[in-house]
Amino acid sequence: MSGPPPARISLSARQLCLLEQIRQRQTAPQRLVRRALILLALAANPCLQAIAADLGLNRISVRLWRDRWLAAAADLTQAEQDDLSDPQLLSLIEQILDDAPRPGGPATFGPEQIVQIVAVACEPPDKSGRPISHWTARELADEAKKRKIVQTISSRTVGRFLKAGRLAAASQPLLVECQPG
Identify whether 1 is part of a domain. Answer: no
Residue 6 pLDDT: 79
How would residue 66 be classed by pLDDT, with cut points 50, 70 and 90?
very high
- The reply to whether 70 and 25 lie within a common domain is yes
- The reply to whether 59 and 116 lie within a common domain is no
Q: How far apart are CA 69 and CA 16, in angstroms?
A: 13
How would residue 121 be classed by pLDDT, with cut points 50, 70 and 90?
very high
Identify whether 181 is part of a domain. Answer: no
- The reply to whether 50 and 122 lie within a common domain is no
Identify whether 170 is part of a domain. Answer: no
Residues 144 and 150 sit within 8 Å (Cβ to Cβ): yes
Q: How far apart are CA 7 and CA 42, in angstroms?
A: 9
Q: Which segment of 142-146, 154-158, 176-180 scores lowest on mean pLDDT?
A: 176-180
- The reply to whether 133 and 89 lie within a common domain is no
Identify whether 23 is part of a domain. Answer: yes
- The reply to whether 59 and 131 lie within a common domain is no
135 or 180, which is more confident? 135
- The reply to whether 21 and 88 lie within a common domain is yes
Residue 107 pLDDT: 84
Q: Across residues 152-167, what is the average pLDDT?
A: 85
Length of the chain: 181
> What stretches of the chain show up as alpha helix (H) in DSSP?
13-24, 30-44, 48-55, 59-81, 86-96, 111-122, 137-146, 155-164
Q: Which segment of 3-17, 68-82, 105-119, 156-170 scores lowest on mean pLDDT?
A: 156-170
Q: How far apart are CA 112 and CA 179, in angstroms?
A: 29
Residues 157 and 141 sit within 8 Å (Cβ to Cβ): yes
How would residue 7 be classed by pLDDT, with cut points 50, 70 and 90?
confident
Range(s) of the domain holding residue 133: 111-164
- The reply to whether 51 and 91 lie within a common domain is yes
Q: Is the pLDDT of residue 70 over 60?
A: yes
Number of domains in the chain: 2
Helix 30-44 / helix 48-55 crossing angle, nearest 10 deg: 140
Q: How far apart are CA 178 and CA 131, in angstroms?
A: 10
- The reply to whether 64 and 131 lie within a common domain is no
- The reply to whether 28 and 54 lie within a common domain is yes
Q: How far apart are CA 38 and CA 58, in angstroms?
A: 11
Residues 149 and 114 sit within 8 Å (Cβ to Cβ): no
Identify whether 72 is part of a domain. Answer: yes
Identify whether 28 is part of a domain. Answer: yes
